[in-house]
A and B are shown apart, each in its own frame.
Chain A
Amino acid sequence: MKKKHYFSRGAIFLLCLVFAVLFLLPTVLTITNSFMSESEIVSNYGMIFSTTTGGYVSRHVNLKFIPDKVTLEQYLSGLIKSPEYLIKFWNSVALVVPIVILQVAIASVAAYSFTRWRSKLRDAIFFFYVILMLMPYQVTLVPNYLVSDWLGILNTRWSIILPGMFAPFSVFLLTKFMRRIPYALIEAAKVDGADEWQIFTRVCLPQCRAALYSIALLVFIDYWNMVEQPLVLLKDADSQPLSVFLSSINSGEIGLAFAMATVYMVPCLLLFLHGEEYLVEGIANSGSVKG
């Protein structure tokens, strides 16, 4: 009996290992390939991306993990020789950070309202938020464009930041989380004479720390990788975030693309490793559709 248990556990472990390798593969490849020299990249992937920089091109594509020679060449040319990437990186930061902070702030107040006061009307509004959250971006594309046009903010950062601030995604997740806070806590604060704002800031928010972190991280990842919105709303190439720019250099300078993608991954990775427990807890607590 016991032997059989060990056997099945071993099999499960191996299966998990296979999955883990498959899941990690693209991440590891991006990072290791970013340390290859341009000539090595060309010889490995030249067949696919038909870079015409000359030099030796292998007849077969050569997916490699370990660079022949580790070099920081790509990072140097991306970050130091031309300021282009740094500007685009800054564009990303300038778009995403305000969106994350303001969306979470506005959503936490709204979620408190959806949690504290329930009625048919407010539940209907909440349902409406859910519907809105589920719409593919292409459905809100025209409305978004129209409003930006009316407000005269087309081709400025605000045309992305303002709709991003009010996206209902975090309202939904936070409401679900807040509705799990024991009512007794709120009641107790009320008896002690706290007003609603004090209950919100001193009782409710501290309870939601994990949720706030995980939602901020999810929103960050989502907007950090945005492609469609800037393409439609920002016609000016100089103001595009790095996510768009990275996708457009794919076919030209592959080595550079790997290095810059690695740079671009760093903020996500740091936030992720720093708050993985919160992230998991936050995701786990959003478990069902209705609050």
Chain B
Amino acid sequence: MKKKRHPIKHRLKDFGLSLCFLSPSLLGVGVFFIVPFAVVVYYSLIDGVASRHFVLLDNFKRLFANSAFRLAARNTLHFSLLAVPLAMALALLLALLLEARIPLKSQFRTFFLSPMMVPVASVVLIWQVLFNANGTVNELLAVFGVRAVDWLQSDYSQIVVLLLFLWKNLGYNMILFMSGLANIPRELLEVADVEGASEWYKFFAIKLRYLSPTVLFVTILSLINSFKIFREVYLLSGAYPYETLYTLQHFMNNTFESLDYQKLSAAAVVMAAVMVVLIALLFKAEDWFGKDVEG
């Protein structure tokens, strides 16, 4: 009743209150992220911090012509296309396995989550012991007569990093899928059982459909984490790793070290733009799939 009598006053009051609660965060985000990012965009459009002439797209043209950037972009794309779907499929598999009535279920869950706790430095140490030219993996393979490979300095290097990525992130993704599976209406699965549906049919026609919001969420998280794996790669093989491991993060880090702000800003803007488009598409996809499940 009251709302109808003072609509404007109420809306103002609501606006004021919401701003009160939001302002600490918004202020900080503004100072530490928005304003500086605007400066980055500005930097990407001028020719140098000293002369400050607008050159519009010149920096971007220079960037796309840069062979290191092209290599880095290709590798980043390649790794994400490999890592994200694999992280999804394997995590879903683990979640499905843990649906079975087996002993030690909650212990398994703890074990699968445990890699989250391990300090980056010791992960890197272990990976070196395993995949060094004189490492354990080569020792094991030597039994089968396979010749030693310096894994991180070979075309297999991306696979080594992929294993590290999966090891680190599968547990978290698995928990997300487990909760997604738990939210599927039981009646639906029971009806399918009564009708004599096969496990495969139940999986593809029922479970996967209801999991679609989770699938999208896991996609996004895995994408973030596939970028974060740079930290381990950097510690494993430095600023200039084997060619296939050289990602956009390396490119930006090295450009930062050499103080080429124009090139770096342009790269940051390109990456941000790609991310915005990608996320907008994923949001749209969730809308679309969400309707599908509700309807």
Q: B234 interface residue, CB < 8 Å from A? A: yes
Would A30 and B97 count as touching, CB distance under 8 A? no
B179 to A134, Cβ gap below 8 A? no
Instruction: For A12, list chain B residues within 8 Å (CB).
Output: 97, 100, 102
When chains A and B are docked, how far (Å) is the Cα of A113 from the Cα of B22? 6
Check A257 against B125 for contact (C-beta < 8 Å). yes
B166 to chain A, nearest CB (A): 10
Q: Is A97 an interface residue (CB 8 A)?
A: no
Docked-complex contact B114 and A24, CB < 8 angstroms: yes
Interface size on B, residues (CB 8 A): 99
| B112 A288 Cβ-Cβ under 8 A | no
Chain A's closest residue to B278 (CB) is: A134
For the complex, count residues of A whose C-beta is within 8 A of B: 93
Taking a contact as CB atoms closer than 8 A, the residue among A15, A136, A224 that contacts B249 in the complex is: A136
A66-74, A77-85, A179-187, A278-286: which lies at the B interface?
A278-286
Q: Give the nearest-CB partner of A151 in chain B.
A: B31
A227 in the interface (beta carbon within 8 A): yes
Task: Give CA–CA (A152, B213) in the complex, Å.
Answer: 44
Interface residues in B260-288 (C-beta closer than 8 Å to A):
261, 264-265, 268, 271-272, 275-276, 279, 282-283, 286
CB of A39 within 8 Å of the partner chain? no
Is the CB of B160 closer than 8 A to any CB of chain A?
no
Q: State how many angstroms separate the Cβ of A128 from the closest Cβ of chain B.
A: 8
Closest A residue, CB atoms, query B257? A232
A193 CB to nearest B CB, Å: 14
Query: Chain B contacts of A48 at CB under 8 A?
Result: 128-129, 132, 134-135
| B40, A19: Cβ atoms closer than 8 Å | no
Contact for B286 among A23, A133, A290, CB less than 8 A: A290
Given contacts A135-B275, A138-B249, A168-B29, are A143 and B216 in contact (CB under 8 A)? no
Contact of A13 among B103, B110, B130 (CB under 8 A): B103
A27 within 8 Å of B (CB atoms): yes
Which residue of chain B lies nearest to A283 when distances are taken between CB atoms in the complex? B175
A165→B27 CA distance, assembly (Å) = 11
A191 at the interface (CB under 8 A from B): no
Q: Does B204 sit at the interface, judged by CB under 8 A?
A: no
Nearest-Cβ distance from residue B82 to partner chain A, whole angstroms: 17
Report if B62 contacts A (CB, 8 A): no
Residue A37 lies at the interface, judged by CB distance under 8 Å to chain B:
no
Q: Is the CB of B32 within 8 A of A166?
A: yes
Separation of A27 and B118 alpha carbons in the complex (Å): 6
Q: Is the CB of B108 within 8 A of A16?
A: yes
B91 to chain A, nearest CB (A): 11
The residue from A163, A168, A265 contacting B119, defined by CB atoms under 8 A apart: A265
- A61 contacts which of B35, B135, B178 (Cβ < 8 Å)? B135
Taking a contact as CB atoms under 8 Å apart, the answer to whether B252 and A141 are in contact is yes
Q: Which of B52-60, B186-194, B217-225 touches A?
A: B217-225
Q: Which residue of B lies closest to A46 (CB)?
A: B134
Is residue A237 within 8 Å, beta carbon to beta carbon, of the partner chain?
Answer: no
Which A residues lie within 8 Å of B114 (CB)?
23-24, 27, 272
A110–B21 CA distance with the chains assembled, in angstroms = 6
> Bound state CA distance, A163 and B179, in angstroms?
32
Interface status of A142 (Cβ within 8 A of chain B): yes
22 A/B residue pairs, CB under 8 Å, sorted by A: A12-B97, A19-B94, A22-B167, A30-B122, A60-B134, A106-B28, A116-B17, A125-B22, A134-B223, A135-B272, A136-B230, A141-B264, A142-B256, A142-B268, A146-B40, A221-B117, A228-B231, A243-B120, A280-B113, A283-B175, A287-B179, A287-B217
* In the A-B complex, the 5 residue pairs with the closest CB atoms: A143-B36, A166-B28, A284-B179, A261-B122, A246-B121
Residues of B within 8 A of A (CB): 14-15, 17-22, 24-26, 28-29, 31-33, 35-37, 39-40, 43, 94, 97-98, 100-104, 107-126, 128-130, 132, 134-136, 139, 167, 170-172, 175-176, 178-180, 182-183, 213-214, 216-217, 220, 223-224, 227-228, 230-231, 234-235, 248-249, 252-253, 256, 261, 264-265, 268, 271-272, 275-276, 279, 282-283, 286
Interface residues of A (CB under 8 A from B): 8-9, 12-13, 15-16, 19-20, 22-27, 29-30, 45, 47-49, 60-61, 63, 106-107, 109-110, 112-114, 116-117, 122, 125, 127, 129-147, 162-163, 165-166, 168, 171, 196, 200, 221, 224-225, 227-228, 232, 243, 246-247, 250, 254, 257-258, 261-262, 264-265, 268-269, 272, 276, 279-280, 283-290
